[in-house]
Amino acid sequence: MKKLLTSLLLLSLLFGCGDSTTTSQSQENSLNSDSVKTARQNCASGSTVGGRPVNIVTTVAPLTSIVAAIAGDEGPIINGLVPEGTNSHTFEPPPSAAAVLENADIVFINGLVLEEPTKDLAEANMQENAVICELGGAILPESEWIYDFSFPKSGGKPNPHLWTNPPMAIDYATVIRDALAQIDPPNAVAYGENHTKFVAQITELDNAMKTATQTLSVAQRKLLTYHDAYAYFAVHYDWQVVGAIQPASFEEPTAKDVVDLIRQVRDEDVQAIFGSEVFPSTILEQIGKETGVKYVDVLRDDDLLGKQGMAEHSYAQLMRFNFVTMVRSLGGDPSALEALDLSFTAPDVAMYPE
């Protein structure tokens, strides 16, 4: 009993948990809704740039990678603002970011209330004719935003992690293509070609993940993660997110929360607990020991593999790594994913801050 109480005290340092309830009505993108139309039109409303390279600013690394895949080496200057391995929910742009944003022709952000400090800084410093393109709102109407245990509707912030769902990354790429073609017409054909290659690659990734999912029973497709980053992914592939350790508030859970989490792991017969490579936690490992469930601490939400310029440093490689890790750890066969050729579809000339 003393050992159990000691473990529970240690576990109280943990970052929170929840159940699997969401309020999303549908995962299918309703691209004809008024809110989506307005957002997409805004993204493609930038002024034509002539006589110089287009200046693009982005936020989180997966988004920067997608933009780079569409822009290729056709001339745009692409600057990411959020350093890899940084908590994007709490990121505050440094004063130096203002100078970068002053020169931007277009700023691509995820939206869904993820990067408000960066958005505010952009609005205060950008040129009059520059555009802020909120990709999340441009592909998904508010009626289909997911609110859950980490992102309750009462808090006003929906789950923003659309990019972990490959079909939504394809939708992002389409908006990016159209926006770049608007402000840089001479390179519109090249952007279209890059888009076609990217879509083909991510479609293959999506199909391989569907194949890998079929090697898991429905009962095995249960995710307990450090961060609640797979809500849209789960709907698309028919998985279940049973909980997330770190709530959006980043507050520590109560002792009752910890006990409830342990009980949930046992009741749901969860096969693996997934931690974060960026935010390692010995406490999560202790939960695994208490419940007899293996702890896998290598998932990455928005930190690309390797370093800039390396073959694995891309959105597609990041998603494949996470999917393989999850499928294998839960007892499935990820060979369809491992067989994919995920080479760069276009040269990545983006600057990723450290």
pLDDT interval class at 354 (50, 70, 90): confident
Does the pLDDT at position 13 exceed 80? no
Higher pLDDT among residues 350 and 226, named by residue: 350
Phi, psi of 115 (to 5 degrees): -120, 45
Sorted by sequence, the CB contacts under 8 Å of residue 285 that are 6+ apart come out as 275, 295, 297
Domain 2-19+212-305+324-331: which topology? Rossmann fold (3.40.50)
Q: What DSSP line would sit under 215-227, residue for residue?
A: TS-GGG-EEEEEE
Every domain of the chain and the residues it spans: 2-19+212-305+324-331, 34-209
The two three-digit tokens of residue 99, written as one number:
């100078």
**343's torsion region: left (phi>0), alpha (psi -120 to 50) or beta?**
beta
| Alpha-carbon span 318 to 308, nearest angstrom | 13
Beta-bridged to residue 132, according to DSSP, are: 107
Average pLDDT over residues 294-323: 94
* H-type alpha helices, 184-240: 188-213, 231-237
pLDDT interval class at 35 (50, 70, 90): confident
- Taking only the tens place, the pLDDT of each residue in 133-192 is 999 999 999 999 999 988 989 989 999 999 999 999 999 999 999 999 999 999 999 999
Same fold, 2-19+212-305+324-331 and 34-209: yes
Residues 118/81, Cβ–Cβ less than 8 Å:
yes
Which CATH superfamily hosts domain 34-209? Nitrogenase molybdenum iron protein domain (3.40.50.1980)
Mean pLDDT taken over the chain = 87
Range 18-55 burial, b when 16+ CB lie within 10 A, else e = bebebebeebebeeeeeebeebbebbbebeebeeeebb
Does the pLDDT at position 295 exceed 50? yes
- Taking only the tens place, the pLDDT of each residue in 182-203 is 999 999 999 999 999 999 999 9
